[in-house]
Structures are given as structure tokens and as C-alpha cells.
Amino acid sequence: MVARDYQLCGFVPMQGAGESRTDLVLLHDVVGEEVGLRLDDGQRVNSTALDRALRQPRVERWSGVTVGGFEPFDNLDLWLATVLDGFVLLTGTVQARERGLVASVSPLGVATLADDDSFAYRMVRPTSEERTLFEFGVYGHGPNADALADCLVDQIRVWDRDHRRDQARIEAYPLTAPDDELPTGRVIDKRHRRITISWP
């Protein structure tokens, strides 16, 4: 089965035999100021170490890649999820942002790269007072924040250069499909299918 088109959306979790579970691991759990990471089936993080990372000063990297105020960039996050091991989604409340714990909040989560004791997440900043153009950047926390932020910025630039106007090819295969019969790209093993995501 091949997806001919796709769109980022959020509604309610799938129910029944086809459900796909996500876990929310809280890094900061003060009531009203929660910050967490949304994980897919099988993903694990060291929440204690990442909680410590959240409390460390952040590093910043800016990519030079811009996007218009109403221009969709769903493909960027799909690209990052496709090419980065350790891709998760950072969640936070508005109060957590106001306290300065995180700089960005989204009901679906913000694209994030995490390892054992550090994480870095995608940001945007306006490039003019009119706020019609925004630049992608990355904020990172933890002892390995510099390397993670550099990696994330590099992939934002690759997406801009090579895939910004591309549509990924998403295919579903039976669980029994061997690796050597799958297309090159990210393979995601789910409960009932093997999903592949590849780019032109």
C-alpha cells in the first residue's frame, strides 16, 4: 500500500486493534508547568538525565533557512523524523514557556533530537518587525547540546536544499517482508505492518 498524499493533523488516538500508543515522559512535572517528551512505541529515554539537562543553560543555533508566516512546513518535521535516530516530540505548557523552561510549545509537540543526557529542539524566530518571515533554529540543553543542535541544524539545511518541495513516499508492507525487499529509507515496525518512508 502506497500513500499518494498526506497531511499533518491531530484528532483522537486510534482505537482498537489498529491503535498506536505514544508515551508522555515528564521531565518537569510541576502542576501547570509540565514539560515532557512524547515517545512512540518502543522508544525509551533517561528522564532523570534529561530533567537535569532541561535545567542547564541552553545553546542556540540558527540555520539561515526561512519560512513565510503562512507557509506550511510539515515536510520538515517528517524529514527530521525520517533521518534522525532519537527523534521525539517536546511538549510543554504555556506556563512552562512563560517560566523560561522551554521556548516553544505545540499541542502536537515540537521536533526534538534526544540522546542519553541531552536534547535539542526546533525553534523559529521572526526576521522582521512585520513577522512575515521566520528563521528556523535550534535550542539545546545538556552536556551534548552543541553536537545535537549542530546535527539538527544541518538536517534543516539539507531539507531546505534537497527536499523542501518533495513529497515523501510512504508505503506499508506485511510484517513478514524481509529487509532486502524494502525500499531505502526509514523503516518503522508497527504492530501489524512495516512502514517505510523514503524521499526522492
Q: What is the pLDDT of residues 1-10, one digit of tens each?
A: 898 788 877 6
**φ, ψ dihedrals at 31, nearest 5°:** -55, 125
Segment 35-51 mean pLDDT = 91
Mean pLDDT of 25-52: 91
Q: What is the pLDDT at residue 18?
A: 63
Binning pLDDT at 50, 70 and 90, where does residue 104 land?
confident
- Decide if 54 contacts 27 (C-beta within 8 A): yes
Mean pLDDT across the chain: 91
pLDDT of residue 4: 75
DSSP codes joined into one string, 73-118 = -HHHHHHHHHH-TTEEEEEE-HHHHHTTS-S---SS-EEEEE-SS-
Helical residues (DSSP H) of the chain, grouped into ranges:
47-54, 74-83, 94-98, 145-158
Strand order in the sheet with 2-3: 2-3, 169-174, 193-198, 186-189
Exposure b/e, 63-90, CB count within 10 A at least 16 = b = bebebeeeeebebbbbbbbbbbebbbbb
- pLDDT score, position 3: 87
Express each pLDDT in 114-170 by its tens digit. Answer: 999 999 999 999 998 888 999 999 999 999 999 999 999 999 999 999 999 999 999
Domain locations along the chain:
21-165, 167-200
